[in-house]
Amino acid sequence: MPADKSSENNCSNIAYYSADEWLNSVKQGINSVYFNQNYIAYRKINCDRPDIHGSGIHSIADNILFFVSDGSSEITADGKKIKLTPGTLFWLSPGVPHYITLRRGMKIFIMLFRVKNGSSNIGLAGKVVLQRDAWYLEQYVKAIGNEFLIKKNFHDIKLYSLFLSMVTEIFRHNTSDKGRIFILNENQQNRLIMYTRENIISRPSPSELAAFMNLTPDYFARIFKRTFGISPKTWLLQERIKAAAFRLLESTKKISEIAEEFGYSDVYLFTRQFTLINGHSPNRYRKRFSTRLLL
């Protein structure tokens, strides 16, 4: 990887290429990409701050790549105001007037870099890449952030290969989302399961889960079914009955009391749903499995 030249803020020699041409320039090798050593990080913002480069609208000679994993903020770019929400990828080409605000509590990945073709500093013809729900990027930004911190042997080659893989995926998703299957990643699944089990007594709804994951209800329902194979409503019912079954075995409460604890005003509805999911009525389930729990 060549010496860092991204601190030179000269916007006079910028050429804008199509995605294919830009990627071909990157593929020329490790010497085509210059990373700004001061701005590669995956971190949490501890206080409100104005733009990362100072106050006012301005342009810089670096590409700016943002990925927001938590929190929200906004950016003004080329005269347009854009909301940055969890899962948002924002990529700004060099030379574009902008102003970015970082909010306290945001967790972001930020990378500043340049791509060279001869003497030209090149950017994308579209100048701005914006993708929502770009959670596929999370694995790449974590890997790049970790690599930049650790700097093991062959660090430059590893960083370049991770960067090339990341921008290739960005272009694939940006070209067309048709036919692509997006699912909740492992971290999102774990967060969702933990939240649901901690709040199961309060009977969270699918829309509440969507809000927790910072997704729209319709998109959440689609991506949830692709991930788990069932609807959020069915999954919530299964989780509620699973928790009620465990309570049956660990307590001596009456079945009607446990049904009420889990939000059922009708014990017969509770019994029907319990039997449908577990294959046994609550009473039979308790008799059959309570001994095993004691063992």
Per-residue model confidence (pLDDT) at position 57: 65
Residue count of the chain: 295
Q: State the total domains in the chain.
A: 2
User: CA separation (Å) from 292 to 84, 251, 283?
Assistant: 51, 14, 15
Per-residue model confidence (pLDDT) at position 195: 94
What's the domain range around 64? 14-175
Give the list of residues 6+ apart from residue 220 with CB closer than 8 angstroms, or none. Answer: 206, 209, 210, 213, 232
Domain endpoint, select from 147, 175, 203: 175
User: CA separation (Å) from 116 to 12, 63, 121, 167?
Assistant: 14, 11, 5, 15
- Same domain (yes/no): 155, 202: no
- Same domain (yes/no): 115, 21: yes
- Same domain (yes/no): 114, 133: yes
Per-residue model confidence (pLDDT) at position 233: 94
List, for the chain, all residue ranges whose pLDDT scores fall below the cut of 70. 1-12, 46-57, 175-183, 291-295
118, part of any domain? yes
- Same domain (yes/no): 226, 258: yes
Give the list of residues 6+ apart from residue 194 with CB closer than 8 angstroms, or none. Answer: none
For strand 14-17 and strand 120-124, is the pairing parallel, antiparallel, or unpaired?
parallel
190 burial type by CB count under 10 A (0-12 exposed, 13-18 middle, 19+ buried): exposed
- Same domain (yes/no): 148, 200: no
Q: What's the CATH number where 281 sits? A: 1.10.10.60
Per-residue model confidence (pLDDT) at position 292: 53
